[in-house]
A = this chain, B = another copy of it.
Amino acid sequence: MAITVVGSVAFDSIETPAGRRERCLGGAATYFSLSASFFTDVRVIAVVGEDFSPEQEAVFRARNIDTRGIEHTAGKSFFWEGSYLENLNEAKTHTTDLNVFADFEPKIPDAYRDSEFLFLANIDPVLQRRVREQMPDVRLVAGDTMNYWIKDHRDALLLVLKGLDILLINDTEAKMLAGNNNLLQAARAVLALGPETLVIKHGEYGATLFHGSAPQSKGAELRAPGLPLEVVVDPTGAGDSFAGGFFGYLASSAAADELTAAAYRRAMFYGSVMGSFACERFGTERLQSLTRKEIDDRFILFRELTHLD
């Protein structure tokens, strides 16, 4: 089934202990799309400025991602500058220039309207909601957010959460959203805000799946591991790549027909697999060079890393 994703398509300047890259292709929707494209058809809604050239467009096209929903407008593309010099698990943001995203009015191309899966990547919850309202009939809606929206745009975010089937956030965001420092209690509180399913990402330690319909005593449903990597070159986009693997697998022909509990569990592992690849090179480099065989091999490695027999 096709996924429509709305979110940032951007340029990132990134510094990590492994080096520095200026204005490489980035943005939540970019990482999500590239990652999910290994599992199913992906269609992007975003806005870019005059600095977005055929070179960047080609990165999407090479993975067969539908870019008809990427609006080109006067001005500059979203720009983010950050570093991970002291802590590879958390970016220090130096610059966030919304640029063309400041006045973005998302429009859904007719060709996207039969998408059964919708992903609201991290972006202003007002924009997430506008897209959600224009696609009322999708089968499954997932979304991401970040501390900035939780802290300063809570009301808009709460409206988005009511329309989500699945929310993917990290530990800090879940605890901040719930106002509770215990992971399990925070998970329950977040599930009470709307989403039926919650994925809490733990950075290098993997991610945990929670379901709202589980009995109170059940707690966490599944813990997918992180993969200890020889070199973490650049963690930018790892969370979005996780989301792309997770939601992409759910939308794939292997899972979408039934969406069983087992499918959600495998989706968690695919999420972790894609997040691990994203960190191996700067920006989107690793996702661009990736093959389905490498994904399948790493999925087997994740199984060996977690299973007793």
Contacts and interface: CB of A to CB of B under 8 A. Distances in A.
Interface of A, helix, strand, loop or mixed by DSSP: loop
Contacts of A184: 228-230
A183 B266 CA distance: 25
B205 A308 contact: no
A24 interface: no
A77 interface: no
A180 B308 CA distance: 29
Contacts of A88: 181
Contacts of A205: 202, 205-206
A52 B222 CA distance: 43
Nearest to A217: B230
Interface residues of A, number: 35
Nearest to A222: B305
Given A184-B228, A230-B182, A308 B206 contact: no
Nearest to A185: B230
A66 B187 CA distance: 43
A308 B220 contact: no
